[in-house]
Amino acid sequence: MQWHHKDVDRIFSELKTSPRGLSSDEAAARLKQFGPNILIEKKKKSPFIMFLYQFRDFMILVLIVAAVISGFIGELSDTIAIVVIVVINAVIGFVQEYRAEKAMEALKKMAAPTATVLRDGQPGTAPASELVPGDLVVLEAGRIVPADMRLVETAHMKVEEAALTGESVPVEKHTEVLPDEDVPLGDRGNMAYKGTFVTSGRGMGVVAETAMKTEFGKIAAMLQEEEEVKTPLQKRMTIFGRKLALAVLVICAVVLGIGLLRGEPPMLMLLTAISLAVAAIPEALPAVITISLAIGAKKLIRQNALIRKLPAVETLGSVTYICSDKTGTLTLNRMTVEELYINGRIVHAGDFAPGEGEENAGRLLMMALALSNDAQAGNGGEILGDPTETALFDIAGRYGFNKAELEKRHRRVAEIPFDSDRKCMTTFHEWNSGFVSFTKGAMDILLEKSADMMLPEGRSAVDCCEIQRVNETMAVDGLRVLYIAMRRWDHLPEDMSHGNIEKELTLIGLVGMIDPPRKEAGEAVAMCRTAGIRTVMITGDHPVTARAIAEKLGILDGDGMAVVTGRELDQLSIEEFEERVEDIRVYARVAPEQKLKIVKALQEKGQYIAVTGDGVNDAPALKRADIGIAMGITGTDVSKEAAHMILLDDNFASIVKAVKEGRMIYDNIRKFIRYLLTTNSGEILTLFLAPVLGLPIPLLPIQILWINLITDGLPALALSAEPAEGDIMTRPPRHPQESIFSGGIGAHAIWVGLLMAGIVIFVQFWSIRSEISNWQTIVFTILCLTQLGHVLAIRSERQSLFRIGLFSNRYLLGAVLFTFLFQMATVYVPILNPIFKTEPLTLVELLFTLALSSIVFFAVELEKFFKRRKTAVSQAY
């Protein structure tokens, strides 16, 4: 279809739609006919395949084969028991992976784009996936074009089409018909294509093609090859896992060799060695980390943080700087006009009398506020639009200047939309026999462009000192000051560039608006300080306003902390800037592009940066930052696409909550790794050292697999429910390059593993010497229960269990009790005895077993005690 070659009327009639858009019923019917506007994704693994994948591990396959062979030549019940355990293990792995996958899907769904669409003549928001041919869609700066569209309205609209054409310079769009049918995509100026994005201006398009029929859809197959990104932790764990696997295999071979030399049955020894390999190789570690991160990401939604890129969960805890936008993030973005400066006087917004007459400044000010305004009255009387705009709309309305009414006489005929680089906007209106342009925006930008100002006695040359003084007076109270100016035109100018339009202005008046700081933001800033995180405010507002707000929030927290403006920033060389960057807490009047410079300079200083952003121009900084955070409510599609995380409530406090949650998730992954490595080390050392010391192999294959199943399963999982440790937000950020094994995890795994093996081997030696027939049951139970004592002791890295309380992680307590009961079942349930080759223990034996099993718990508590004492001593000095 050559949509670009047809005029708008023909498009409307061919697509059976109108400038009011489709009716909701028609849209629903078309959705059924055309299907959802989504690209067909690569086929996902079905749950069954996902389950089968659990067996793809080589050692597990070897184990199954060996078990089956041994079943044929020996006892079949052994084989069945081994296979059952392996299957249960796979089920646990599958359930976890499935949960993680569902969590990721839910995250994806939440991050799915929406579109502003006109249906039944009313603008509304709909998921981009529900767009159908014939829908009228509003496009604004920052929007990703949701379908292929023929444009029917444009206002300075530029679109970046690099995704389709490779051309990264935005192209200006229009609505004119293209005479040639055969025009390359990049030259179709009246079309907007799915996957490209609007960099500036506004427009409206009628959807022509959706889903796979779009140009983007046609090449989508090529884009599907996207590799899944691995988090740094996953990468490191994969490498570590491989090395460990090799070491375990060597040990297993030694165990096998010694066993054979001792004359143990070869098949039994083979099964023992393979079971040991299966139990001790932490092959699932990278997968388990992914699962923890994915489930962590889902939990983060409760803190209003939507994770787009999984590594962000892991790295949140390393953040040392949060560079946050002011408006809406640190403040409420609820603007109210407080003061006006008009006719040479500051008046309170409530005590203002606009006055009469064509040239009356008060009246003109109100007309400018109503007309040069993009807010709209909604159906229920509410005001829709950007908070700055709605505040101005509201005050004009309160004094009887109704936008819709005024527009009947003063139609808007042209405009230069607001952009945060220019910090102003201009609209043109019919005015008697000519035209008027209203320009409103930042005082320091527009003052230079003004020729005169309105005073009661008439126009006079603009008094810069007076205006700056008024601005200062308003800004020290934290007010945002807007400068409202006008210019008369006999004809509409040909050259509509802002350079030509926004000059020789006449100042009508100033408007001072308050946007109160969020209460919880102040508390969050204070929390950041104790957590070793610095808060930096970046704003387009005036430095005086910015300073006032920063002081209220406690961001300017010490001597020598500076406020720097965008202009000053431009004048600093990179070296000079890097020298000062760590002392700057507020950046005022900065253009979004300058955020990138700030992020780079801080990174150069070795800092780990989270940065917020909402506009198109914020995207490079969001991408470059260690954690780019887009705003969920006010953020553009482009910023969301570039970000690692989306803040669903736009609230600064949620970033800090997410950091806290991120630290906790990381801590819990560390605990999990500590637990798993120590458990494995205990098992492998026991099975290695016993034969080396001349004792029989302490455990049978089924017992090894059982311990692995029950101790690696529930208790390890429950560690992820561990609540945050008390010092989580009073300790400094973790260095991003810090190894996951830091803080002595490796040493811990070895010494505790040795202790476990020592206890087990001692008991084995002693029981054999004392001719206790069920020594193997005792050894089996001790090895299992020591793991439970260990998991309780490592719930906190430093605090004693008695301090954090046994009940503060009920999941873990439940898991420990469950595992204990399961183990007791293998000992006391008669039908299980032949399967696990156990015999019931007497009460004395049981008490003896329990007492010995608790040694590990107390030993680890002692380790933590010494750690705490060491810090207390070093702090005292």
Distance (Å) of CA 868 to CA 387, 796, 798: 51, 12, 6
Q: Which one, 115 or 442, has the nearer CB to ligand ATP?
A: 442
Least distance CB 475 / ligand ATP (angstroms): 10
Q: Does 587 bind ligand ATP (CB under 6 A)?
A: no
Q: Nearest to ligand ATP by Cβ — which residue?
A: 540
Nearest 5°: the CA angle 836, 837, 839 is 110
Q: Which residues pair with 646 in a beta bridge?
A: 306, 630
For 424, phi and psi rounded to 5 degrees? Answer: -160, 170
DSSP 8-state secondary structure symbol assigned to residue 262? T
Q: Which stretch binds ligand ATP (CB under 6 A): 115-123, 394-402, 538-546, 766-774?
A: 538-546
Q: Does 650 bind ligand ATP (CB under 6 A)?
A: no
Q: Which stretch binds ligand ATP (CB under 6 A): 23-31, 539-547, 562-570, 729-737?
A: 539-547
Q: Give the C-alpha separation, 547 to 555, whole Å.
A: 9
Selected from 425, 779, 812, 852, the binder of ligand ATP by CB under 6 A is: 425
DSSP per-residue letters across 726-789: TTTTTSPPPPTT--TTTTTHHHHHHHHHHHHHHHHHHHHHHHHHTT-TTHHHHHHHHHHHHHHH
DSSP 8-state secondary structure symbol assigned to residue 3? G
Q: Which one, 209 or 389, has the nearer CB to ligand ATP?
A: 389
Q: Does 6 bind ligand ATP (CB under 6 A)?
A: no
Least distance CB 204 / ligand ATP (angstroms): 20
Number of residues that bind ligand ATP (CB under 6 A): 20
Selected from 386, 430, 649, 797, the binder of ligand ATP by CB under 6 A is: 386
DSSP 8-state secondary structure symbol assigned to residue 146? -
Q: Does 424 bind ligand ATP (CB under 6 A)?
A: yes
Least distance CB 139 / ligand ATP (angstroms): 18
Q: Which one, 582 or 593, has the nearer CB to ligand ATP?
A: 593
Q: Does 418 bind ligand ATP (CB under 6 A)?
A: yes
Q: Which one, 449 or 480, has the nearer CB to ligand ATP?
A: 480
Distance (Å) of CA 815 to CA 288, 537, 764, 818: 18, 45, 27, 5
Least distance CB 424 / ligand ATP (angstroms): 5
Q: Which one, 416 or 740, has the nearer CB to ligand ATP?
A: 416
Q: Which stretch binds ligand ATP (CB under 6 A): 48-56, 87-95, 417-425, 456-464?
A: 417-425
Q: Does 502 bind ligand ATP (CB under 6 A)?
A: no
Least distance CB 367 / ligand ATP (angstroms): 16
Least distance CB 103 / ligand ATP (angstroms): 31
What token pair was written down for 507? 């100042």
Answer whether 192's CB lies under 8 Å from 136's CB. Answer: no
Q: Does 388 bind ligand ATP (CB under 6 A)?
A: yes
Letters for 313-332 (x = contact with ligand ATP by CB under 6 A, - = none) are ------------xxx-----
CB atoms within 10 A of CB 385: 16
DSSP 8-state secondary structure symbol assigned to residue 617? G
Answer whether 508's CB lies under 8 Å from 454's CB. Answer: yes
- Residue that is written with structure tokens 């460990």 in the block: 244
Q: Give the C-alpha separation, 419 to 200, whole Å.
A: 8
Q: Does 440 bind ligand ATP (CB under 6 A)?
A: yes
325 catalytically annotated = yes
Q: Does 641 bind ligand ATP (CB under 6 A)?
A: no
Least distance CB 540 / ligand ATP (angstroms): 3
CA Rg, the chain, in Å?
35
Q: Binders of ligand ATP among 778-817, rule CB under 6 A?
A: none
Q: Which one, 15 or 424, has the nearer CB to ligand ATP?
A: 424
Q: Which stretch binds ligand ATP (CB under 6 A): 56-64, 282-290, 532-540, 554-562?
A: 532-540
Q: Which one, 157 or 621, has the nearer CB to ligand ATP?
A: 621
Q: Which one, 273 or 479, has the nearer CB to ligand ATP?
A: 479
Instruction: Quote the strand ranges of 294-411, DSSP E.
Output: 305-307, 321-325, 336-342, 345-348, 376-377, 383-384
Q: Give the C-alpha separation, 570 to 572, whole Å.
A: 6
Q: Which stretch binds ligand ATP (CB under 6 A): 29-37, 439-447, 812-820, 847-855?
A: 439-447
Q: Give the C-alpha separation, 815 to 220, whole Å.
A: 46
Answer whether 316's CB lies under 8 Å from 661's CB. Answer: yes
Annotated active-site residue in 78, 135, 325, 667? 325
What token pair was written down for 605? 């200083």
Q: Binders of ligand ATP among 465-484, rule CB under 6 A?
A: 480, 482
Least distance CB 325 / ligand ATP (angstroms): 3
Least distance CB 125 / ligand ATP (angstroms): 21
Quick one: which of 699, 677, 679 has its CA closest to 689? 699
Q: Which stretch binds ligand ATP (CB under 6 A): 344-352, 359-367, 536-544, 830-838?
A: 536-544
Least distance CB 383 / ligand ATP (angstroms): 13
Q: Which one, 512 or 715, has the nearer CB to ligand ATP?
A: 512
Q: Give the C-alpha separation, 230 to 311, whole Å.
A: 8
Least distance CB 371 / ligand ATP (angstroms): 13
Q: Which amino acid is at 673?
A: I
Distance between first and last Cα of the chain: 79
- Identify the helix (H) or strand (E) that includes residue 563: strand 562-565
Q: Which one, 292 or 634, has the nearer CB to ligand ATP?
A: 634
- Identify the helix (H) or strand (E) that includes residue 455: strand 450-455
Q: Which stretch binds ligand ATP (CB under 6 A): 60-68, 399-407, 422-430, 566-574?
A: 422-430
Selected from 442, 584, 596, 794, the binder of ligand ATP by CB under 6 A is: 442
Q: Does 517 bind ligand ATP (CB under 6 A)?
A: no
What token pair was written down for 745? 């995890």
Least distance CB 816 / ligand ATP (angstroms): 49
Q: Which one, 389 or 712, has the nearer CB to ligand ATP?
A: 389
Q: Does 539 bind ligand ATP (CB under 6 A)?
A: yes
Least distance CB 389 / ligand ATP (angstroms): 5
Contacts of 25 (CB under 8 A, 6+ apart): none
Q: Binders of ligand ATP among 132-191, rule CB under 6 A?
A: none
Q: Does 441 bind ligand ATP (CB under 6 A)?
A: yes
Q: Which one, 593 or 839, has the nearer CB to ligand ATP?
A: 593
Q: Does 593 bind ligand ATP (CB under 6 A)?
A: no
Quick one: which of 17, 435, 385, 440 has its CA closest to 202? 385
Q: Does 389 bind ligand ATP (CB under 6 A)?
A: yes
Q: Give the C-alpha separation, 566 to 445, whole Å.
A: 12
Distance (Å) of CA 140 to CA 156, 440, 461, 801: 10, 19, 37, 56
Contacts of 315 (CB under 8 A, 6+ apart): 232, 608, 626, 627, 662, 736
Q: Give the C-alpha separation, 790 to 280, whole Å.
A: 17
Q: Which stretch binds ligand ATP (CB under 6 A): 106-114, 151-159, 383-391, 699-707?
A: 383-391
SS3 content of the chain, % helix, strand, coil (to 5): 55, 20, 30
Q: Which one, 513 or 749, has the nearer CB to ligand ATP?
A: 513
Q: Does 444 bind ligand ATP (CB under 6 A)?
A: no
Catalytic residues: 325
Site residues (vs ligand ATP, CB under 6 A): 325-327, 386, 388-389, 418, 420, 423-425, 440-442, 480, 482, 538-541
